Amino acid sequence: MSDVALDPVVGSTPRRPRLFRNPWRKPWGLLLVTLGYLLWSLIPVVIAVVFSFNAGRSRSTWQGFSLRWWTGEPFDALFTDPSLRAAMFQTFRLSIITVLIAVPLGTAFAIGIDRWHGRPARGANFMMLLSFVVPEMILGVSLFLMFTQLIDNLIPLGTTSQILGLATFQMSYSVVIVRARMLSIGPEYEEAALDLGARPGQSLRRVLLPLLSPAILASVAVVFADSVDNFVIVRYLSGTADSEPLSVKIYSAARSSPTPAVNAAATVMLVATITVVLVGYLLYRRFSKGQEPADVGGFAQV
Amino acid sequence: MASAEATAEPQGGKRSREDQAAGRGGAWFPRWYWPTFTLPGTLWLVLLFILPFYTVLSVAFGTVEPLFRTPLPVYQPWYWSFGTFDTTLEKFYVSPAIYQEPLIRTFAYVFAASAICLVVGYAVAYYTARYAGKFRVPILLMLVAPFFISYLMRIYAWQSLLQPGGYVDDIWGIFAEPVNWLSGKPVTVILGLVYGYIPFMILPLYGSLDRIEQSMLEAGRDLGASPFHTFRRVTLPLSKPAILAGLVIVSLPMFGDYYTNDLLGSQNTSMLGNLINLAVFQPGQGQEAGSLTIVLMLIVVIPMGYYLRETRRAAERA
């Protein structure tokens, strides 16, 4: 379109002709880098998934297809090894409870902080943002030291402390997502509802929350996926081996002698997160029909 | 106070809207109404975010039980002593400075990995924002996918590929002598870090490059700038905030990373994160873990502060 209009202008600067060789040529170099990057970033994962179906014990030499490491082996497959099975349950238990805590807390915080102005509000907001950017390692070690040192074993390491730690780390995600939505809807709809005689509780329930539902949904998906994948915090707070979720099992196995059952475990995590995110995304699109698509943009912010 | 703020931010369609909401909201909502919403989250963070930090300080600046060296945290700041913290610090610079090499390595690896992330990430983001055309959505999906694949799984996948006899060896073997990639090679660890964190670089860059209007670039070209010049004088300055944000976002977790090294490196490539991780689980090293965590905090506090300031500014501009 613009090629036609601009070409003659560009062509008429004869002083530096070499630089102006067809400026709309295909950027082959960039295309190669991008393709190379995409292949580099995804192929190892695909190979890891494929190797969960390896017939042999190796995770790097293909020996034919089998379900041996999923169900076949009597004790070492993903669904027969009691420790891996327990880890699978632990992963989902932690993630679901984390979602149930972090998303409501984060949503309420985002609503309040958007409407409440003043010094204490800024302080609370700063603390929240700090928890958003602080490296997980620092939070993990801090929580570990707190649960082991302060108020001696009031809450022992294990599922409870893991959930407390995860929810702390994940709350900020839902705050960021819901807050962005709050900013984009503005106070007008609520004011209209209040003008029309709604009580504050009604305007919250009937106007604000429905408007926020896509963002709440998005944060459920993100928090769940991120909790399934979490490793640093969950590992430090796991205490004994039976509260270790899949991510920690993968780490420990990778350092000793992993079998393709580990690949199968990783595949389960992959399928779980991708499914939740896809379902979340589809629902999100349904909920926010006709409004700006902010999903990828939201992730870009994170 | 309020008027001073109003004059400080004169260009505020936003500001006036807030004032309006606050002013009128007063009639509808009692003063405590909105603060109540933030209360649970705030309390939660005080108990499980601020208090843990305070515990770290109390452990690091406390004392240790002399026999088993278990930490005896001191919770009153006025009794804090810095002796044991100093002993840890001295391991960085007083001979034999056993922590010095890991620290230097940390900075070198993070620097190298962030630089590679920037160069590759910029190219990918630029292509996607400008040239992807009808492939934009599938490419974006592929760029977002790594966020939802466990970090551990992605590094584990590379560990499998890089094993002696793995696929990388097979391909490399065609051209050169086989190399044991997992024997503590800096290249492997740096590329592992790049692999792990580069998605965090690409998305902000994409977001920023996508917002640059095509017409800006055309204006640059119309005014006689070469493509390179247009890039340097228009695109690059406009994407600078995203570049800095991206560098911060990828380098922050890299400074505390230990698992990439545990899976792809060896003791010869260990970093600050590895020191902390070892101290956490070793009996009698609790205090060391606390002190090293404070060192890590001191390192990341500047990039973190920068990032927070920029986000606040961006929010004010919006």
The distance of A159 to chain B (nearest Cα, Å) reads: 15
Domain span at residue B21? 13-93
How many angstroms away from the CA of A20 is the closest CA of chain B? 7
Provide mean pLDDT across the span A114-139.
89
Same domain, B58 and B185: no
Written as one letter, the residue type at A145 is: L
Residue B144 touches chain A, beta carbons under 8 Å:
yes
Total structural domains within chain A: 2
Confirm whether B301 is domain-assigned: no
* Cis previous bond, B96, omega within 30: yes
B121 and B248 inside one domain:
yes
Are residue B232 and residue B276 in the same domain, yes or no?
yes
Residue A13 counted as domain residue:
yes
B117 shares its domain with B241: yes
pLDDT of residue A73: 77
Answer whether A301 touches B (CB < 8 Å).
yes
Beta-bridge mates of residue B72: B63
Higher pLDDT pick, A132 / B10: A132
Q: Are residues A91 and A225 in the same domain?
A: yes
> Over 60: is that where the pLDDT of A292 sits?
no
Tell me, yes or no, whether A57 lies in a domain: no
Question: Are A286 and A177 members of one domain?
Answer: yes
A254-279: average pLDDT? 90
Q: Out of B93, B118, B140, pick the residue that ends a domain.
A: B93
Evaluate whether A168 touches B48 at the Cβ level (below 8 Å).
yes
pLDDT at A178 over 70: yes
Size of interface A-B (CB pairs under 8 A): 292
Domain of residue B121, CATH code? 1.10.3720.10
Residue B28 lies in a domain: yes
- In total, chain B counts a number of residues equal to 318
Q: pLDDT by residue (tens digit) across B289-311?
A: 999 999 999 999 999 999 888 88
The mean of the pLDDT values for chain A is: 84
Bridge partners (DSSP) of residue B64 are: B71
**Residue that is last in its domain, among B41, B70, B93:** B93
Domain that holds residue A265: 70-301
Mean pLDDT over residues A107-113, rounded? 93
Taking the CA atoms of B159, B163, B168 and B172 in sequence, report the sign of the dihedral they define: positive
Closest CA to B299 of B152, B62, B102, B61: B102
A257 inside domain: yes
Q: Is B46 on the interface with A (CB under 8 A)?
A: yes
- The beta-carbon neighbor of A48 closest among B153, B199, B308 is B153
Kindly report the pTM of this predicted structure. 0.86
In this predicted model, what pLDDT tens digit does every residue of B75-123 receive, in sequence order? Answer: 888 888 888 888 888 888 888 888 999 999 999 999 999 999 999 999 9
Q: Give Cβ neighbours of residue A145 (< 8 Å, ≥ 6 apart).
A: B52, B55, B56, B59, B286, B289, B290
- Say if residue A208 is in the same domain as residue A284: yes
Determine the pLDDT at residue A22. Answer: 62
pLDDT tens for residues B239-276? 999 999 999 999 999 999 999 999 999 888 999 999 99
CB–CB contact B157 A48 (8 Å): yes
Query: Per the domain annotation, does A270 fall within a domain?
Result: yes
Same domain flag for A81 and A227: yes
* Whether residues A42 and A120 fall in one domain: no
In terms of domains, do B275 and B242 share one?
A: yes
Residue B288 lies in a domain: no
- What is residue B102's predicted lDDT score, i.e. its pLDDT? 94
Which of chain B's residues have a Cβ under 8 Å away from the Cβ of A47?
157, 160-161, 167
Tens of pLDDT, residues B8-41: 333 434 444 444 444 444 567 778 888 889 999 9
- Please tell me which of the candidates B144, B153, B227 has its beta carbon nearest to residue A250: B153
User: Does residue A118 sit in the same domain as residue A190?
Assistant: yes
* Whether B74 and B124 share a structural domain: no
pLDDT at position A289: 65
Tell whether the model's pLDDT for residue A199 goes beyond 60.
Answer: yes
In terms of domains, do B33 and B71 share one?
yes
pLDDT at B4 > cutoff 50: no
Clarify whether residues B254 and B143 are in a common domain. Answer: yes
pLDDT of B26 reads: 52
A9 shares its domain with A142: no
Chain B residue numbers touching A10 (CB-CB < 8 A): 221
- pLDDT at residue B35 in the model: 86
Residues A238 and A163 in one domain: yes
Q: Are residues B69 and B115 in the same domain?
A: no
Is B296 a member of any domain? no
DSSP states of chain A: -HHHHHHHHHHT-TTSTGGGS-TTS--HHHHHHHHHHHHHHHHHHHHHHHHTTBSSS-SSS---B-SIIIIISTTTSTTT-HHHHHHHHHHHHHHHHHHHHHHHHHHHHHHHHHH--SHHHHHHHHHHHHHHHS-HHHHHHHHHHHHHHTTTTSS-TTHHHHHHHHHHHHHHHHHHHHHHHHHHH-SHHHHHHHHTT--HHHHIIIIIHHHHHHHHHHHHHHHHHHHHH--HHHHHT--SGGG--HHHHHHHHHHS---HHHHHHHHHHHHHHHHHHHHHHHHHHHHTTTS---HHHHHHH-
CB contact under 8 Å between A135 and B227, yes or no, is no
Contacts of A98 (CB under 8 A, 6+ apart): A163, A166, A167, A170, A223, A224, A227
Q: Is residue B160 part of a domain?
A: yes
Residue A110 pLDDT: 94
pLDDT in tens, B107-163: 999 999 999 999 999 999 999 998 888 888 899 989 989 988 999 999 999 999 998
Residue A249 pLDDT: 92
Residues of A in contact with B143 (CB under 8 A): 38
Same domain, A121 and A34: no
Residues A44 and A159 in one domain: no
pLDDT of residue A302: 41
Among residues 147-206 of chain B, which lie with CB inside 8 Å of chain A?
A: 147-161, 163, 165-167, 195, 198-199, 203-204, 206
Residues of chain A with C-beta less than 8 angstroms from the C-beta of B198: 37, 41
**Interatomic CA distance for residues A106 and A216, integer angstroms:** 9
Confirm whether A61 is domain-assigned: no
Q: How is B192-240 classified by DSSP, letter by letter?
A: HHHHHHHHHHHHHHHHHHHHS-HHHHHHHHHTT--HHHHIIIIIHHHHH
A277 domain residue, yes or no: yes
Residues of chain A numbered 132-191 and touching chain B (CB < 8 Å): 133-139, 141-146, 148-150, 164-165, 167-168, 171, 175, 183, 186-187, 191
Q: Specify the pLDDT at position A2.
A: 41
Whether pLDDT at A284 is above 90: no
| A39 and A89 housed in the same domain | no
Least confident of A108-112, A162-166, B73-77, B88-92: B73-77
Residues B82 and B121 in one domain: no
In 3-state terms, what secondary structure has residue B66? coil
What residue in A sits closest to B124 (Cα-Cα)?
A34
Q: Examine the domain organization and report whether B204 and B55 are in the same domain.
A: no
- B61 is a domain residue: yes
Token couple for B77 = 């700041």
Q: Do residues B133 and B234 both lie within one domain?
A: yes
B186-232 pLDDT, tens digit each: 999 999 999 999 999 999 999 999 988 888 888 888 888 888 888 88
Residue A62's pLDDT is 86
**pLDDT-based confidence at A20, cuts 50/70/90?**
low
Residues of B in contact with A129 (CB under 8 A): 308, 311
How many domains does one find in chain B? 2
Domain assignment present for A64 = no
Tell whether B32 lies on the interface with A, counting CB pairs under 8 A: no
